[in-house]
A = this chain, B = another copy of it.
Amino acid sequence: MIETPYLLYLGSSRDPLAVKTARGIMIWRPDSVVGEVVSAESEMTVGADRMTIEEGAKRGAKTLIIGYANSGGYIEESNLEDIVKALELGLNVASGLHHDLQENALIKEAAERQNCKLHNVRRSDKAFKVGTGTKRPGNRLLTVGTDCSVGKMFTSLAIQKEMEARGENADFRATGQTGIFIAGEGVPVDAVISDFISGSVESLSPAREDGGWDIIEGQGSLFHPAYAGVSLGLLHGAQPDHLILCHEANRAHMRHLPGRSVPELEDCIKANLWAAKVVNPEAHFSGIALNSRNLDKAEADRLCAQLEREFKLPCQDPMRHGVERIVDHVLI
Docked-complex contact B278 and A228, CB < 8 angstroms: yes
- Segment at the interface with B among A13-21, A230-238, A303-311: A230-238
The answer to whether residues A230 and B194 also contact, given A223-B278, A274-B271 and a CB cut-off of 8 A, is yes
Given contacts A191-B195, A192-B193, A194-B194, contact A230 B229 (CB under 8 A): yes
Closest chain B residue, CB of each to CB of A195: B190
* A197 in the interface (beta carbon within 8 A): yes
- Verify A233–B194 contact, CB threshold 8 A: yes
B-side contacts of A271, CB under 8 Å: 274
Contacting residues, chain B, for A226 (C-beta < 8 A): 130-133, 195, 198-199
Answer yes or no: A51 CB below 8 A from chain B CBs: no
Interface string of A226-259 (1 = CB under 8 A from B): 1111111110110000000000000000000100
Residues of chain B lying within 8 A (CB to CB) of residue A234 = 229
Bound CA span A265–B180, Å: 40
Mostly helix, strand, loop or mixed at chain A's interface? Answer: helix
Q: Which of B189, B225, B257, B275 contacts A194 (CB 8 A)?
A: B189
- Closest B residue to A197 using CB positions: B229
- On whether the beta carbons of A191 and B193 are closer than 8 Å, the reply is yes
A279 at the interface (CB under 8 A from B): yes
Is A260's CB within 8 Å of the partner chain B? yes
In the assembled complex, the Cα of A274 lies from the Cα of B268 at a distance in Å of 11
Q: How far is the CA of A134 from the CA of B256 in the complex (A)?
A: 12
Q: Which of A133, A134, A227, A257 has the most CB atoms of chain B within a 10 A radius of its CB? A: A227
**Mask of A155-195 contacts with B, CB within 8 angstroms, 1/0:** 00000000000000000000000000000000001111111
Which B residues lie within 8 Å of A230 (CB)? Answer: 194-195, 197, 229, 233
Closest B residue to A229 by CB, please name it. B233
What is the CB-to-nearest-CB distance from A276 to chain B, in angstroms, rounded to a whole number? 11
Q: Would you call A225 and B279 a contact (CB within 8 A)?
A: yes
List residues of chain B with CB within 8 A of the CB of A225. Answer: 131-133, 198, 236-237, 278-279
A236 to chain B, nearest CB (A): 5
Q: Is the CB of A228 within 8 A of B233?
A: yes
User: Within the assembled complex, what's the spacing in Å between the Cα atoms of A233 and B131?
Assistant: 17
Q: C-beta contact mask, A252-286 vs B, less than 8 Å → 1, else 0?
A: 00000100100000000001001100110000000
The 8 closest A-B pairs by CB, nearest first: A229-B233, A133-B225, A190-B195, A197-B229, A229-B229, A130-B226, A131-B226, A194-B194
List chain A positions with a Cβ less than 8 A from chain B.
Answer: 130-134, 189-195, 197-199, 222-223, 225-234, 236-237, 257, 260, 271, 274-275, 278-279
